[in-house]
Amino acid sequence: MKHSIPLMRASGEGGSIINMSSVAGLKGSAILAGYCATKGGVRLFTKAVAMECGNAKDGIRVNSVHPGIIETPIWDDIIGTGEAGDNARPPRAQVLDAMSAEAVPLGGKGYPSTSPTASCGWPRRRAAMSRRRIGHRRRPLGEVTGGP
């Protein structure tokens, strides 16, 4: 944002910045203290910058997305795999389902192939609702890709 906001202001067209956080930034977890702290920091940093841009009335919207639990291999190091020799832990999918039921508003875990897709269309839908253009179409500041 340090470099993108001045460019967006110079374009005179406003825009939208979306930061990726996590549900862990909204609700703490005993086994993820450091991760929760960093994602909470992203959330509050985003809010502060959104307030600054709002006060500047430059048409720049700043928001954060807080995906829930996404089933990726990172969980192997945190909760184990549940396979034989893994200290008799329950299967990873079972543990993630239980965590998701508690922490995720919709109650289910996500998958890498589908979770980025949800946020990719959000700025366009929001822009259509507010009738504002997002970013500078001739000189994009960045690109978001994801999903199949």
Cα–Cα separations (whole angstroms), residue 80 to 28, 91, 103: 20, 8, 19
3-state secondary structure of 122: helix
- Residues with a catalytic annotation lie at 35
CA distance 9 to 48: 17
- On whether the CB atoms of residues 60 and 19 are closer than 8 A, the answer is no
Helix %, strand %, coil % of the chain (to 5): 45, 10, 45
